[in-house]
Chain A
Amino acid sequence: MRIFALAGRRLVASIPTLFLILIGVFLLLQFAPGDTVDAMMAQMGGGDAATARDLRRFYGLDLSVMAQLGNYLWRLVRFDLGFSAIYGKPVATVIAERLPATILLMVASLSLAFFFGLILGVVAARGVNRWPDTLISTLGLVFYAMPTFWFGLMAIVVFSIYLQWLPAGGFEDITIGYQGLRRTLDIAQHLVLPTLTLGLFYMAIYLRIMRGSMLEVLNLDFVRTARAKGMDETRVVVHHVLRNALLPMVTLIGLQAGTMLGGSVVVESVFSLPGLGRLAYESVIQRDLNTLLGIVFVSALLVIVVNFIVDLLYARLDPRITTGT
């Protein structure tokens, strides 16, 4: 499969990027005031200098920065992310516990943003400068200009406090302990507001891009050819414009995957979701640098995976990619 070969090549090419990120952040964290041992000592309620020295030796923190970096990368190659002193567990375990919530949130928000961004963008472009367009474009601008966390808070006020339709936070109702389908529904219910909060912002971006690229493609020569064939407008849009207009939007999803993951930090904090973003926030507050570095690694990996999927999708959409121009 040429598509896989091409996307695979991009995947391999992102390995140096991954190392660049890790080395950069690792070195950056050396400037942080206090290290993990300081954080542990604070956790334990203080301790003497000898204990601190022993702990530093135990964690390899007494070595030179370069040696530490080397050690870290070497452990990473073996998928060992180190130990979180704060949580008292391996970093990999801590992250694995938090990953599902974030992935669910990302997938749900991305689907919402993509689907509605696409539809609204097409509707707006077809009625350009008439009222549906004005309405959609205005709505898009407002969603874009709204801080996501504020939208989340206001949604809690309306839907959880006043209307009491949806839960205000959390991933699931642990007090009841649902199983099976019931549990799935419960989680889904908890994710409605977070998904709207994160998704609507990106929907606003996608609809603007989609509207713009629709208008651009509608002006291209082959659309005139299609009309000259005697096609009606709906058919022109469905058969000739849509796929071409999707290309910029698909590219944008890949470019913004990182930004979206960053957005989940805030949204997870608003809705107290036990996800990766909230873990990142907690690690910063608690100075759990090992975990923070682990999160950087996993997030970058997630973004690379999203880009891999986007590459596959793009190659499916555009034959020029696989057959070369």
Chain B
Amino acid sequence: MTPILVLDQVSVKLPKGADRSHAMEEVTLSVAAGEILCVVGESGSGKSMTANAIMRLLPGGVTLDGGRILFEGRDLAGVSEAEMRKVRGAGIAMIFQEPMTALNPLRTIGDQIGEMFEIHTDLAKSAIRARVQALLEEVRIPDPLAAAKAYPHELSGGQRQRAMIAMALALDPKVLIADEPTTALDVTTQAQILELIRDLQRRKGTAVLFITHDFGVVAEIADRVAVMSKGRVVEQGTVEAVLDNPQHAYTQQLIAAVPPLKAPPPRAISDEAILTIDHVSKTYRTGGFLGRGQRVTHAVKDVSLVLPKGGTLGIVGESGSGKSTLARCLVRLIDPESGSIWLSGRDLASLSKEEMRAETRNIQMVFQDPFASLNPRHKAGELVAQGLIVHGTPRAGALKRARDLFSLVGLDPAAIDRFPHEFSGGQRQRIGLARALALEPKVLVADEPVSALDVSVQAQVLKLLADLRARLGLSIVFITHDLRVAAQVCDLVAVMKSGEVVEAGPIADVFGNPQHAYTRALLASIPGRGFGLKEAVLA
């Protein structure tokens, strides 16, 4: 097969003062018609810059610095801006990570798809409208007529991404660049979108450059893989070769960091319950005036769960399932409407604000975003000592304890005088963990603690958590959307959907022999299901 798009020794220079001189260094890639090439790498690897460089849509100050970008034999690096505009959209089209922000909020979907024809063809308005309808049907959007007239905010995330795909494929481009197109989507929607891309690509013979950080997605969709690290392609080859027999040390390390979907052998858990969630509900009322036209959302609906002492209870579900609301109810960041939360004989749900303040030392929370969860204006040691000081430890003692906690979570105790922005994402998450552990809580609520981290950092933090759990005998409520992570960490798991727990039990039972249809759908949607299992067997 002759490649349609070839990157030959392409380098991209960053402006002065950036953390490195080049975003891409001598990147050589190629993709042929009917082929899907996955470019995979962690954040900062330069994989997204590759897409921008091909489209010649580099951010300000960032410039091409040598190399050829051959599209159908012509070097795009040298053509005029006007020529380049003819290629964009018609020859090479692109879809983006976040379909909500990638679409203009003030114009209808049909209008924005139709624009493709307005720019590149002389079709009449009525013909354009017909083509738009056909495209929307092709991407299997429900009710294409209504979708064309809808504004982006009126569609769901998956529908918006379908619309983006319809737009990108409008002019049957030779090459489709997909920049993390499913990262912002829920797992079941992701599976549908991946299937759609694969299907359309097969039928139209499009060459697809698929950028992702997720090896599961790679296993699911790629024909060939290129692994990028720090702006360079460190390894490329067929999907089987790279995934099953990685050559480069970096690739090996990345692949080893992906948690396998199979749960490790069960641990012995005590029968004694430490936290009992008893018929907890929380509803939100939005809009409406004096009770008229009100919309009621059941964020959490009659949830009852038990966390055994020393155990880890996973709560999994997609966005909007209510798992985060439930977590926040447990620490009373949100007041549950009804039900009880029993923690060593006290009902947290019925405590007054003041009583709950005292009770916080028994139940602590770890947050998702390592950048947003630490106050940028306090020193790291200060952040960790804060809780102790509030609960009556003298300042000097609290800071001394903070140093101990720093070594406990694997950070340099001397770093307590630094500010949060001086730490990396993984280190910040360790600080968050140290802060929660400072009060020696009986229960730790972890809300997506590794979701914002790169896969290799994620593996380190998960290892630390498992380590601490064993050493300190922690009882943990672990919220996650990632079933692979849940499989590795949890003893018990509860699957939530639309505020309700649809299935709960020991992780091996729920994942190995799912009873509820939704659990089965969820498990079936995980990209690259088989991927990673071989390693688990070997280990």
Q: Which listed residue, A225, A230, A318, A319, touches B86 by the CB 8 Å rule?
A: A230
Q: For the complex, is A64 an interface residue (Cβ under 8 Å from B)?
A: no
A interface, by DSSP: helix, strand, loop or mixed?
Answer: helix
* Chain B min CB distance to A249 (Å): 14
* Chain A min CB distance to B121 (Å): 11
Could you say which of B98-106, B204-212, B253-261, B271-279 contacts chain A? B98-106
For the complex, what is the distance from the CA of A225 to the CA of B55, rounded to whole Å? 11
Q: For the complex, is A317 an interface residue (Cβ under 8 Å from B)?
A: yes
The interface residues of chain B lying within 8 Å CB-to-CB of A33 are none
Could you say which of A43-51, A192-200, A216-224, A267-275 contacts chain B? A216-224
Q: In this complex, which of B82, B85, B98 has the most chain A Cβ atoms within 10 angstroms of its Cβ?
A: B85
B116 touches A229 (CB 8 A): yes
B101 touches A232 (CB 8 A): no
Please report which residues of chain A, range 294-318, place their CB below 8 angstroms from some CB of chain B when the two chains form the complex. Answer: 317-318
Q: Which residue of B lies closest to A242 (CB)?
A: B106
Q: Which residue of A lies closest to B55 (CB)?
A: A228
The interface residues of chain A lying within 8 Å CB-to-CB of B106 are 243-244, 317-319
Q: For the complex, is B153 an interface residue (Cβ under 8 Å from A)?
A: yes
The interface residues of chain B lying within 8 Å CB-to-CB of A230 are 85-90, 119-120
Q: In this complex, which of A230, A320, A325 has the most chain B Cβ atoms within 10 angstroms of its Cβ?
A: A230
B105 touches A231 (CB 8 A): no
A221 touches B90 (CB 8 A): no
Q: Which residue of A lies closest to B82 (CB)?
A: A232
The interface residues of chain A lying within 8 Å CB-to-CB of B102 are 221-222, 224-225
A244 touches B96 (CB 8 A): no
Q: Which listed residue, B88, B98, B154, touches A229 by the CB 8 Å rule?
A: B88
Query: Knowing A221-B98, A323-B154 touch, does A228 contact B93 (C-beta < 8 A)?
Result: yes
The interface residues of chain A lying within 8 Å CB-to-CB of B436 are none
Range of interface residues on B (Cβ < 8 Å): 20 to 34
Q: For the complex, is B57 an interface residue (Cβ under 8 Å from A)?
A: yes
Q: For the complex, is A89 an interface residue (Cβ under 8 Å from B)?
A: no
Q: Which residue of A lies closest to B100 (CB)?
A: A221
Please report which residues of chain A, range 136-161, place their CB below 8 angstroms from some CB of chain B when the two chains form the complex. Answer: none
Q: Which listed residue, A229, A318, A319, A325, touches B89 by the CB 8 Å rule?
A: A229
Please report which residues of chain B, range 200-245, place their CB below 8 angstroms from some CB of chain A when the two chains form the complex. Answer: none
Q: Which residue of A lies closest to B116 (CB)?
A: A229
The interface residues of chain B lying within 8 Å CB-to-CB of A228 are 55, 57, 88-89, 93-94
A229 touches B153 (CB 8 A): no
For the complex, what is the distance from the CA of A27 to the CA of B167, rounded to whole Å? 62
Q: Per-residue 0/1 for B74-92: is the Cβ within 8 Å of any A Cβ (1 yes, 0 no)? A: 0000000010011111100
Residues of A within 8 A of B (CB): 220-222, 224-232, 235, 239-240, 243-244, 317-320, 323-325
Q: 8 closest A-B pairs (Cβ-Cβ)?
A: A230-B89, A230-B88, A221-B101, A229-B89, A222-B104, A228-B94, A230-B85, A319-B151
Given contacts A225-B104, A232-B82, 14 further A-B contacts (CB under 8 A): A221-B96, A221-B101, A222-B104, A225-B96, A227-B55, A228-B93, A229-B93, A229-B119, A229-B167, A230-B87, A231-B89, A239-B107, A320-B153, A324-B287
User: What are 16 of the A-B contact pairs (CB < 8 Å)?
Assistant: A221-B96, A221-B101, A222-B105, A224-B96, A225-B96, A225-B103, A225-B104, A227-B55, A229-B93, A229-B119, A229-B167, A230-B86, A230-B120, A231-B89, A231-B115, A239-B115
